[in-house]
Every structure is written in structure tokens, then in C-alpha cells.
Structure 1
């Protein structure tokens, strides 16, 4: 059987690196992938696809990518389910990434410095 997915799209938000209880790095990202055709209004729609990255791929993505970055992901499609607090079964379909390529250019030092200046410190 073949279960292989290849996607190219933009990250919808900054990756948030987490770890499992065993210490394995993981991040979940949503990839906005444009469709190849226009809708009845002449606009191009996008699909928003959940992707899970593990280990070094998760660490590198969190370190080097930001919202809007163009990435290419290859992986496998996976479905799972769980019961929520109300007892309703929830189904989740996601791409479990096997590799990721960063397709955006690296931000210049000036852009990174400007982003740091725009951060507002939290005073408690």
C-alpha cells in the first residue's frame, strides 16, 4: 500500500515547539495550501492542513520558520479519534511529516532586529 503526501504551502502561525512526557520534541503546524483552480467568484481558495513534525524536524522548524514561511512537507496521512469531554467522538486527519524543506529565503539581520524591537516586554 502507498500512503505518501507532498505539500507546499505557507505556515499559518509561528511553530510552537513542545515535548512529550518522554522528552521527544514535537510541533504541530497548519499549512495553507492554495488550490489549483478559482472558485465561482474568481478567487483562489486554500486548504488548511494540520501537520505534525517530530524530533529534529520539529526543532529546526521552530527555530528557523515563522508565520508565512513557505515550506514543503512530505509525509503520510494519518487519521485518529478520541472522545471529548461530552463523550462525542472526534476524528482528526493530519499529515505526519517525514521530511520538511524550507523554501522561503532566510530573513535578513535587519528584519530580525526590527522584529526584536517591536516585541513589547511584559511587566508583572
Structure 2
């Protein structure tokens, strides 16, 4: 019964509420893929993926940690002699800014796990 309660509690917590998090870091690139490396974020930082555009050239991306107050903000960045308008799109949770997997991402099984935990809990209560 305790295991069911613990599973339900862990699955009910919003992503990123379990302490400090790791994010994917990737330098600015014009490649469509940005696998990057893992980096540790500060307490007041979130993971982000930056998307940049400039007239007449292809888009750029980068990833890393950013101050929470900078989420969603637009800023100019220079890459290969071109000034891009880069917007930081934040996400919340461990490695949430890594490339999505073909199965739908790291949280694809969360609703199923929550339902299973609830069923296990109810089975022990009844």
C-alpha cells in the first residue's frame, strides 16, 4: 500500500519540483539537430531551447540554462556575421530541452503510469 501512495505522489508532482535539474547545452548552430551535452542548472534557472531567425537565412537553435526571468524573451544574437532574433523557449524538468524521442518524449508514459499507480492504490484500499 505504501508503494502505491509513493508512486501516486511522485507521478502527481509537476516536473522540476524534485530539486535542481540538468539540461542539455548546445552552442548556437544552424543544424537541425543539436544533441549537446548535459549541464547543471542553478536554482533560479530553467532549461531552454533558443530559436533564432533572420531575414534571408535559415534558422538557428541553441540550448542550455537561463534565468527564469528571461524565459520567452527575444534578444539579438550574432552568428556567422548575421544578427538573429533569438527567442528562449523554457521548459521545466530534467533534460526537458533534449530532442524529442520518436515515441513522443520523456513524459509520454506519465498518464499511463499515473493511472496504474491509482489502480494499485485503489486495489489495496478496497
> Which of the five TM-score ranges fits, normalised by the shorter chain?
under 0.3
TM-score after normalising by structure 2: 0.25
Structure (1 or 2) with the greater helix fraction: 2
Higher relative contact order (CA 8 A, sep 6+): 2
Structure (1 or 2) with the greater strand fraction: 1
TM-score after normalising by structure 1: 0.25
